[in-house]
Amino acid sequence: MTKYHPELLWAQRTDEVYLTINVPDLKDETIKLEENLLNFEAKGPDGREYAFSLEFYEPINPETSKRSVNARSISMVLDKKEHDKEFWPRLQKSSQKIPFLKTDFSKWVDEDEEEEAPGNFDLPQNMDFSQFASAMGGGGMMPPMGEEEDSDEEAEQ
């Protein structure tokens, strides 16, 4: 039976790599995480088999890495073995392009902007929605419709 590759998204910081495996409603997933390697196998709801193997650019700490599974995807936060090094130029050791591997721009931050970037993408309850209201400008609500006089009517009087 043919095995398919799921969409794999990634982003990084100096100390972590964020991976998202996008396949909804997985069954029987097997994830083997080693210092230099990630092996993934699972079945979709239609019986389709998904699999990939990825050799990391540099080693990670499998013991301190985390993962979370939900109905739509598997999210992983991989702890880089060396925290004080520069960003990896790519996720995998090989320079060969992997068609199912894409940059996760929702989590991506340039290396020189890392200090300003929010972290902990796997914890959405930490979001401060008050930031969004102040960014809207003005800060106040619009007056209800019909309570202000029309500027055309004022001009005619």
Q: Does some domain include residue 120? A: no
Q: Does some domain include residue 77? A: yes
pLDDT at residue 154 greater than cutoff 60? no
Q: Does some domain include residue 118? A: no
pLDDT tens track for 82-137:
998 889 999 999 999 999 999 999 887 776 665 655 555 544 444 344 444 444 44
pLDDT at residue 68 greater than cutoff 90? yes
Rank 8-22, 125-139, 140-154 by mean pLDDT and report only the highest. 8-22
What is the pTM assigned to this prediction? 0.69
Q: Does some domain include residue 2? A: no
Contact 37, 109 (CB under 8 A): no
CATH number at residue 60: 2.60.40.790
Determine the Cα–Cα distance for residues 88 and 103; give it in Å rounded to an integer. 13
Measured in whole angstroms, how far is the alpha carbon of residue 145 from the centre of its chain?
41
Query: Most distant CA pair in the chain: distance in Å?
Result: 81
Element counts in the chain: helices (H) and strands (E): 2, 9
Q: Minimal CA–CA distance to 11: which of 120, 131, 157?
A: 120
pLDDT tens track for 16-56:
999 999 999 988 899 999 999 999 999 988 899 999 999 99
Q: Which residue range is the domain that position 69 belongs to?
A: 7-103
Q: Does some domain include residue 147? A: no
